[in-house]
Chain A
């Protein structure tokens, strides 16, 4: 068995393309060499594949925790952590040691079992969700046929975990945080899921790798055929992006842990490694939801320009991931937080209608396609007004509420 046989036969066969799958193949080869039964080889291979993903993203979590602090610091005219190691590179290690060695405090009024289970449950769905995302041409850890459905099914666990944390802490700030988290996550999961319906309609498949394959190619030779470059996809992508910020509890929708109001929300009564697990869950969830957004709208692992196919596909995926996550950091460094009633109004009066409108728009887009799959002027002429007019109307309505135009300032006549 030569090494080249390991790739399942994509167009690019050179080494780095299947580098992320190397551990899995090595384990399988090793077990086959020692004559292990078939079920053991498969199981061990899957465990190794899962371990690769977990390893990569735990490394990413450590890196992101440093990058986030550094980026925020630079935006805020500060230096950020720069004591531990060169350029603060060892700061995640120092944080980890600190978290691990801190006392684990369980409040007297807490339900200890749920209090213990919540941080575990909050990390688990994020890791599960990360398993189904196609990171590269040859690298989908668990290629599920119903990948999209699986992603949202396990993603719904997060709400449960957050509410468990808030309720089981037996304290008031966590309770308030949990109340906020439930209402926010349920409200924003709706538009989040509805926007993906359009993608499924266009692709005709719930498998995430099929969704990426469907976005192969270029319009006019240089515009990628990503879903974001269609009218319905653009609208859906914006809704998805905003809803994903809310799902990931990031600023300006970080109400469940709104620091200046309810201290740390559902994490208030946690300390030590359990507290670190919440952060891990949050960052892994951020990776997962950005990865899904990239898969659905930004062409997954595809190169952004023709002629760049020689770069391994997973590098493109992670490059896009960096761009998306940096945009989250930028928003966090810039915006204040919204209030809970404004958050809910925004979800139900703006996000939900716009998400729903992408479904007929995607339908029209499919219907008006030419037999060869290309799109003529008709599709643009029908879908663009269908989406643009409601966008404008909603923008006007929302801006009128917050217009300071009525304010005028006088000066006292002395």
Chain B
């Protein structure tokens, strides 16, 4: 929880309205249908109204950071796939950027283009699946989810053709990518990108006009901008509240400066805005993909002098961040000159976005908690690491 009482809603609402023995203590999770994994919320209810909510993390803790400190730099790359397993390629990129910054490795132009294409496809996957997941949390029984997954499958098929794996891609390398695009791959992506716009139109039409969805999401779970900024919230959640913070614009990395795209902003930051912002972002991603596919240059997909074995970055420290689909994904590395990182630290967007969940849920219904949790868009692999 954030500490400053002036900007926190917690202290104002925390005082329970009735005696403590009148309250119902419910443990939502770790085995619960809509905690998106093994997340637990200890909820105190007054009737159906949430009086207190304590998130409990760590059921999926896999010691990722410590393991990474005991192994070589490249050996951590497959582990990053398993952080946010909905979007492994973004995680790959963030880690590769951190190591490249640490060791001062150049990335060829073609590799940068491939990375942008993969990252934006990943954003499409994440946001599409998000729309399905949140409808499932509202009780739509998987209908939206199955259609979202239908589109996701198409992108995963492309990933499989390129990387050999549908989800655990392990594709980026320090100084580029593991292999070049297969023949005809970019044509398939172009076709998919062309077909994605109509799908988004359809999905948006069905979801956004639905009265029940509107009544469940409008004015649910919004927080003031200041609270969100103080809480370190990033990504679509922050932009839904109207804060223009997208690392692709404020701290451009890769070749994002070459592309023409916009950052959509909401106004209230409630669950409805969070859904809409993601739809708008997907359309911007499609624009980036169009441009990147058109401009895709020839050349090498990896820096010719990039070292795979016995890779020893010089003594130093580096923090690199990208705009992941869920928010700012950063890797902090400290090198002591050996083959292993001295310190390896991740800034996971899911985890930090989740910290404000109590402030968002207080005073609302139990049913809203589930929707708010869905709108934060967490993946437990990244929260617990």
Taking Cβ atoms with an 8 Å cutoff, the residues of A that contact B are 72, 75-78, 172-173, 175-176, 179-180, 251-252, 254-255, 258-263, 332-342, 399, 401-404, 407-414
Q: Which residues of A contact B266 (CB under 8 A)?
A: 407, 409
In the docked arrangement, what's the CA distance between A28 and B360, Å? Answer: 68
For residue B359, CB closer than 8 A to chain A, the reply is no
Question: Are B143 and A75 in contact (CB-based, < 8 A)?
Answer: yes
Task: List chain B positions with a Cβ less than 8 A from chain A.
Answer: 24-26, 32-34, 45, 47-48, 135-143, 146-147, 150, 208, 210-216, 218, 242, 244, 246, 249, 262-268, 272-273, 276-277, 280, 365-368, 370
Partner of A336, one of B24, B48, B135, B277: B135
If the complex has contacts A411-B264, A412-B262, A414-B249, are A261 and B215 also in contact, measured as CB distance less than 8 A? Answer: no
Partner among A180, A255, A342, A411 whose Cβ is within 8 Å of the Cβ of B215 = A342
Complex Cα distance A339/B49, Å?
Answer: 12
CA distance A258 to B212 in the complex (A): 15
> Could you list 28 A-B pairs, sorted by A, with CB under 8 Å?
A76-B142, A172-B25, A172-B26, A175-B24, A179-B48, A251-B139, A251-B141, A259-B33, A259-B141, A260-B137, A260-B370, A261-B366, A261-B367, A263-B33, A335-B140, A336-B213, A339-B216, A399-B211, A402-B214, A403-B214, A404-B214, A407-B267, A407-B276, A409-B276, A410-B267, A412-B262, A414-B262, A414-B263
| Interface residue from A172, A263, A337 paired with B212 (Cβ < 8 Å) | A337
A411 to B265, CA, bound (A): 5
Contacts of A408 in B (CB 8 A): 267
Q: Are A173 and B365 in contact (CB under 8 A)?
A: no
Count CB-based A-B contacts (< 8 Å): 132
Chain A residues closer than 8 Å to B264, beta-carbon distance:
409-412
B263 contacts A339, CB within 8 Å?
no
Q: How far is the CA of A175 from the CA of B215 in the complex (A)?
A: 25
Of chain B, the residue at the smallest CB distance from A260 is: B34
Shortest beta-carbon distance, A312 to chain B, in Å? 36
Contact B32 A263 (CB under 8 A): yes
**Which residues of chain B have C-beta atoms less than 8 A from A341's C-beta?**
365
* Minimum C-beta distance from B138 to chain A (A): 4
Would B210 and A336 count as touching, CB distance under 8 A?
A: yes
Whole-angstrom CA separation of A255 from B267 in the bound complex: 31
Find chain A residues with CB under 8 A from B216 CB: 336-339, 342
Known: A176-B24, A260-B136, A336-B139. 15 other contacts (CB 8 A): A176-B48, A252-B212, A254-B139, A258-B139, A259-B33, A259-B139, A260-B139, A260-B370, A342-B216, A403-B214, A407-B276, A409-B267, A409-B280, A411-B264, A413-B244
Contact B265 A412 (CB under 8 A): yes
| Residues on the A chain within 8 Å of B136, using CB | 260
With a cutoff of 8 Å between Cβ atoms, the chain A residues found around residue B273 in the complex are 407, 409
Q: Which residues of B contact A401 (CB under 8 A)?
A: 215
Among B147, B218, B265, B366, contact of A404 (Cβ-Cβ < 8 Å): B218
Q: Are A176 and B26 in contact (CB under 8 A)?
A: yes
Q: For the complex, what is the distance from the CA of A72 to the CA of B136, rounded to whole Å?
A: 14
- Minimum distance in angstroms from B225 CB to a CB of chain A: 14
Q: Which residue of A lies closest to B213 (CB)?
A: A336
Known: A260-B33, A336-B210. A411 touches B366 (CB 8 A): no
Considering the complex, give the chain B residue whose CB is closest to the CB of A411: B262
Closest to B27 in A: A172
Q: What is the minimal beta-carbon distance from A181 to any residue of chain B, in angstroms?
A: 13
Closest to A78 in B: B146
Is there an interface contact between B244 and A412, defined as CB atoms closer than 8 Å?
yes
Say whether, besides A175-B24, A333-B143, A412 and B263 are in contact (CB < 8 Å).
yes
Of A77, A262, A336, A411, the residue contacting B146 (CB under 8 A) is A77
Q: CA A179 – CA B24 in complex, angstroms?
A: 13
User: Within the assembled complex, what's the spacing in Å between the Cα atoms of A408 and B25?
Assistant: 39
Please name the residue on chain A nearest to B284 by beta carbon.
A411
Report whether A76 and B146 are in contact in the complex, using a CB–CB cutoff of 8 Å.
Answer: yes
Residue of A nearest to B146 (CB): A76
Which residues from B are CB-within-8-Å of A254? 139
Contact partner of A412 among B24, B47, B215, B249, CB < 8 A?
A: B249
Q: How far is the CA of A407 from the CA of B368 in the complex (A)?
A: 20
Residues of B near A76 (CB, < 8 A) are 142-143, 146-147
Residues of B near A414 (CB, < 8 A) are 249, 262-263
Contact of A334 among B25, B34, B143, B249 (CB under 8 A): B143
Find out whether the CB atom of B265 lies under 8 angstroms from the CB atom of A336: no
In whole angstroms, what is the CA distance A341 to B366 when docked? Answer: 11
For B277, the chain A residues whose CB sits under 8 A away are 409
Least Cβ distance of A129 to chain B in Å? 27
> Contacts A261-B34, A339-B216, A412-B249: A172 and B138 contacting too (C-beta < 8 A)?
no
Q: Which residues of B contact A336 (CB under 8 A)?
A: 135, 138-140, 210, 212-213, 216
- Nearest B-chain residue to A403, judged by Cβ: B214
Measured CB to CB, the nearest residue on chain B to A339 is B367
Nearest-CB residue, chain B, relative to A171: B26
Closest-by-CB residue of A relative to B32 is A263
- How far, in angstroms, from A341 to B249 measured CA to CA in the complex? 42
B141 touches A332 (CB 8 A): yes
Distance (Å) between the CB of A343 and the closest chain B CB?
Answer: 10
Closest to B257 in A: A414
Closest to B24 in A: A172
Could you tell me the distance in whole angstroms from the C-beta of A259 to the nearest C-beta in chain B?
5
Return chain B residues, CB-CB under 8 Å to A334: 140, 143
Tell me the minimal C-beta distance from A184 to chain B in angstroms: 12
With a CB–CB cut-off of 8 A, which chain B residues contact A251?
139, 141
User: How distant is the Cα of A262 from the Cα of B28 in the complex, in angstroms?
Assistant: 8
CB distance from B209 to the nearest CB of A (A): 9
**Which residues on the B side are within 8 Å of A261 (C-beta)?**
34, 139, 366-367, 370
Verify B32–A338 contact, CB threshold 8 A.
no
Given A402-B218, A412-B246, A340 contacting B48 (CB threshold 8 A):
yes
Q: How far is the CB of B219 from chain A (nearest CB, A)?
A: 10
Q: Which residues of chain A have C-beta atoms less than 8 A from B33's C-beta?
A: 259-260, 263
Please, which residues of chain A bring their CB within 8 A of the CB of B272?
A: 404, 407
Question: Residue among B25, B45, B246, B267 with the most chain A CB within 10 A?
Answer: B267
A306 to chain B, nearest CB (A): 39
Q: Which residues of A contact B215 (CB under 8 A)?
A: 338-339, 342, 401-402
Question: Most B CB atoms within 10 A — which of A260, A338, A410?
Answer: A260
Partner of A333, one of B141, B208, B368: B141
Residues of B within 8 A of A252 (CB): 139, 212
Alpha-carbon distance between A175 and B25 when the two chains are bound, in angstroms: 12
Q: Which residues of A contact B208 (CB under 8 A)?
A: 404
Docked CA distance A401–B219 (Å)? 11
A260 CA to B370 CA, complexed, in Å: 7
A258 near B146: Cβ-Cβ < 8 Å: no
Which residues of chain A have C-beta atoms less than 8 A from B242's C-beta? 410
- B136, B139, B268: most-surrounded residue (chain A CB, <10 A): B139
A404 (CB) vs chain B CBs: closest residue = B214
**CA A408 – CA B244 in complex, angstroms?**
15
Contact across chains for B366 and A176 when beta carbons are under 8 A apart = yes
